[in-house]
């Protein structure tokens, strides 16, 4: 339903933009959400995008549209906008959103905008730009609701009412006289206790926090594990630098999941800047080279058993089945393991996770060994070949589960992202291992 509405809105806006009907176009835009309008712009040509954005009359909406645009869509709009216009729109954005948007703009334009920003706003953005974009510091908002530990609930509620510059207030972070984070309490606590209650009496002193250099994936893991709406970011002296809010956590989870999915296939997101397509193709080259080398080794392996295969030609027909089954089981085990590492589930039981996947491989191996071996026996009447296929399927699928689990765990142990090309590596490895098991077992039984 929502997709149909988006398609209808795209058609309406595109039709009005092409005809140059500014007044009706402005009315349609005014009735749209910023996120939907950004999605619409992704379906338009560059001139149409600039025309539509020029008819966004509300600066708040225009700023929100900019933060939702990605890649070339943002560059098409930004290319015609003077730095002064960006500065005016930035007044409607939080510091972390300003930083994120600046980080996606060309360097020359980014510097021009920063030069025109004034006072505290510029200092906040420059400080956030100093952190790596994939760390807690790079995604945090410096606007955290802070209270002194000697205040009462009455004082805290009054402070909440005066905090007009805070976009979102999830928790009240309590600091001591030295500016150190010593506690946290919820807004519900402030409202359900007597007004004269001291914050020190109701706050939780066990504050879950992260450092500014903490990887954003670890921040998302902390928020998900403990059901936090915001995660405080502190320095080495436990002074509060800012907070990472739940909307940023959701973005991190989405981006990390997409990145891991691409990395497991041995690729990265396509880059559209000049030369980006060539670099993207070259990044795939090493993993495809590994696949090629693996294929050549498998070819040599088949040649080594050439005489046996010619004598029992039925063996050749089951090679794709054995390799395909083992490769799929290995990929499934690797995917589950990488996901377990990302969510922190495996951290609490590595041996249990390995054992579970090996059991899955063994159980599935027995099931399919009976099915494939039985088919071979009934179809060709070759008991030795059927036994070879059955044994190869059981041992191959069990070992595939083991390899698919151990590869990402080993990569993590050596400080490498477990998702990096786990797919191509496991598939190639299991093709060689599975075929070796199959032909070796066949040679042993048939001899």
**At the fourth CATH level, which superfamily is domain 276-446?**
SLC41 divalent cation transporters, integral membrane domain (1.10.357.20)
The span from the CA of 189 to the CA of 151, in Å, is 14
Whether the model clears a pTM of 0.85, i.e. scores above it, the answer is no
Fold of 2-137: MgtE N-terminal fold (1.25.60)
pLDDT at residue number 383:
86
pLDDT tops 80 at residue 279: no
pLDDT tops 70 at residue 166: no
Average pLDDT for residues 38-63, to the nearest whole number?
85
pLDDT in tens, 362-389: 999 999 999 999 999 998 888 888 888 8
pLDDT at residue number 422:
66
pLDDT tier, 267 (very low <50, low <70, confident <90, very high otherwise): low
Task: Identify any residues that bridge with 210 across adjacent strands, giving them in sequence order.
Answer: 233
Range of lowest pLDDT (103-107, 119-123, 140-144, 147-151)? 119-123
Average pLDDT for residues 307-321, to the nearest whole number?
84
Contact present, 118 and 86 (Cβ < 8 Å): no
The span from the CA of 138 to the CA of 120, in Å, is 18
pLDDT at residue number 5:
65
pLDDT tops 90 at residue 106: no
pLDDT tops 60 at residue 128: yes
Average pLDDT for residues 76-85, to the nearest whole number?
85
pLDDT tops 50 at residue 274: no
Tokens of 6: 């988006």
Range of lowest pLDDT (15-19, 119-123, 230-234, 298-302)? 15-19
Burial (CB count <10 Å: 0-12, 13-18, 19+), residue 218: middle
Q: Phi/psi of residue 232, each to 5°?
A: -70, 145
pLDDT at residue number 235:
92
Residues 6+ apart with CB under 8 A from 68: 34, 35, 38, 39
CATH number for the domain running over 146-247: 3.10.580.10
pLDDT at residue number 234:
94
Q: How high does pLDDT run on average in the chain?
A: 83
Average pLDDT for residues 211-219, to the nearest whole number?
91
Domain boundaries, given as residue ranges, for the chain: 2-137, 146-247, 276-446
The span from the CA of 426 to the CA of 101, in Å, is 38
pLDDT tops 70 at residue 268: no
Percent of the chain with pLDDT over 70: 89
């Amino acid at each position: 339903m929502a997709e149909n509405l988006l398609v209808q809105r795209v058609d309406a806006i595109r039709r009005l933009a092409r005809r140059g009907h500014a007044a009706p176009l402005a009315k349609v835009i005014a009735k749209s959400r910023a996120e939907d309008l950004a999605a619409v712009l992704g379906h338009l040509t560059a001139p149409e995008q600039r025309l539509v954005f020029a008819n966004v009359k509300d600066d708040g909406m225009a700023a929100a549209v900019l933060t939702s645009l990605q890649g070339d869509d943002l560059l098409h709009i930004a290319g015609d906008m003077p730095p002064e216009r960006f500065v005016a729109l930035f007044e409607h954005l939080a510091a972390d959103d300003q930083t994120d948007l600046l980080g996606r703009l060309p360097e020359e334009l980014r510097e021009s905008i920063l030069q025109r920003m004034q006072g505290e706003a510029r200092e906040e953005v420059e400080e956030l730009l100093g952190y790596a974009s994939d760390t807690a510091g790079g995604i945090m908002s410096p606007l955290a609701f802070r209270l002194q530990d000697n205040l009462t609930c009455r004082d805290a509620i009054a402070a909440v009412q005066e905090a007009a510059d805070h976009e979102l207030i999830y928790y009240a972070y309590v600091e001591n006289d030295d500016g150190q984070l010593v506690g946290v309490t919820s807004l519900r606590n402030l409202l359900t206790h007597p007004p004269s209650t001291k914050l020190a009496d109701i706050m939780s002193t066990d504050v879950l926090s992260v450092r500014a250099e903490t990887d954003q994936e670890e921040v998302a893991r902390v928020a998900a594990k403990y059901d936090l709406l915001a995660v405080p970011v502190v320095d080495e002296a436990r002074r509060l630098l800012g907070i990472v809010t739940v909307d940023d956590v959701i973005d991190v989870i989405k981006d990390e999941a997409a990145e891991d999915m691409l990395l497991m296939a041995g690729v990265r997101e396509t880059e559209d800047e000049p030369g980006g397509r060539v670099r993207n193709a070259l990044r795939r080259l090493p993993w495809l080279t590994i696949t090629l080398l693996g294929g050549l080794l498998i070819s040599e392996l088949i040649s080594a058993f050439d005489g046996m295969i010619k004598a029992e030609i039925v063996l050749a027909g089951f090679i794709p089945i054995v390799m395909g089954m083992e490769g799929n089981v290995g990929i499934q085990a690797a995917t589950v393991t990488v996901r377990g590492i990302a969510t922190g589930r495996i951290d609490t039981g590595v041996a249990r996770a390995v054992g579970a996947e090996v059991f899955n491989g063994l159980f599935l191996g027995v099931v399919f060994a009976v099915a494939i071996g039985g088919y071979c026996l009934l179809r060709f009447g070759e008991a030795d070949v059927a036994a070879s296929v059955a044994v190869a399927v059981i041992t191959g699928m069990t070992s595939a589960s083991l390899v698919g689990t151990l590869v990402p765990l080993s990569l993590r142990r050596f400080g490498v992202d477990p998702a990096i090309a786990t797919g191509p590596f496991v598939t190639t490895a299991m093709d060689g291992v599975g075929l070796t098991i199959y032909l070796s077992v066949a040679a042993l039984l048939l001899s």
